[in-house]
């Protein structure tokens, strides 16, 4: 690691500490004695999403989080729960070495998480994700939600 002050190539690690998702390293330059921090984080492979029209685009965590935030407006769902949904999807793909995923699969996984968190947010997300065009679609989604909840309690 180069020293950011003098450019010397051989800096020394004086301390390492694990953080939540990375490692913080305290470094010192033997030439100019400058001290600085670096952060080491595992590299995640690029996840490509196949959209409904067949086009591919890189996975955008922020896009997923925005969609979930739209569904949870004025609902008792925390930002931490929303982050956990995004983490769950990213970790699922990384752990299974998935490089391409359908947007439908991401939507289904998100719905599955929301079903366990808040039923109103579930219906809101489903209405956009499944592109409800009539009242019958809402009724069907609510019936599906009730069926899942009943089978979970048995």
- SS3 string, 79-129, reads HHHHHHHHHHHHHHHHHCCCCEEEHHHHHHHHHHHHHHHCHHHHHHHHHHH
Residue 25: predicted pLDDT: 95
Q: Bridge partners of 98?
A: none
Output the pTM of the full model.
Answer: 0.65
Q: HSE on the CB side for 21, CA within 13 Å?
A: 5
- Asked if residue 152 has pLDDT above 60, the reply is no
> Any idea which residue has 């190539």 for tokens?
9
Same domain, 1 and 77: no
Looking at the 3D structure of the chain, how many domains does it have? 2
> Sign of torsion, CA 48 126 89 44?
positive
Same domain, 83 and 144: yes
Expressed as residue numbers, the domain containing 78 is: 48-153
Same domain, 81 and 147: yes
Q: How confident is the model over 116-134, as pLDDT tens digits?
A: 899 889 888 888 877 777 7
Mean pLDDT (the chain) is 87
Same domain, 10 and 58: no
Residue 7: predicted pLDDT: 94
Same domain, 90 and 126: yes
Residue 15: predicted pLDDT: 95
Residue 123: predicted pLDDT: 85
Banded model confidence at residue 140, pLDDT cuts 50, 70, 90: confident
């Amino acid at each position: 690691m180069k020293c950011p002050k003098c450019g010397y190539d051989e800096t020394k690690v004086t301390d390492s500490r694990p953080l939540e998702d990375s490692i913080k390293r305290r470094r010192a330059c033997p030439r100019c004695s400058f001290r600085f921090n670096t952060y080491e984080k595992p590299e995640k492979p690029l996840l490509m999403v196949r959209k409904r029209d067949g086009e591919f685009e890189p996975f955008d965590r922020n896009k997923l989080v925005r969609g979930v935030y739209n569904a949870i407006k004025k609902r008792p769902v925390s930002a931490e729960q929303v982050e956990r949904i995004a983490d769950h999807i990213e970790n699922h793909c990384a752990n299974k070495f998935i490089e391409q995923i359908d947007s439908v699969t991401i939507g289904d996984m998100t719905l599955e998480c929301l079903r366990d968190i808040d039923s109103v947010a579930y219906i809101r997300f489903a209405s956009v994700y499944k592109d409800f065009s009539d009242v019958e679609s809402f009724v069907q989604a609510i019936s599906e939600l009730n069926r899942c909840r009943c089978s979970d309690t048995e």
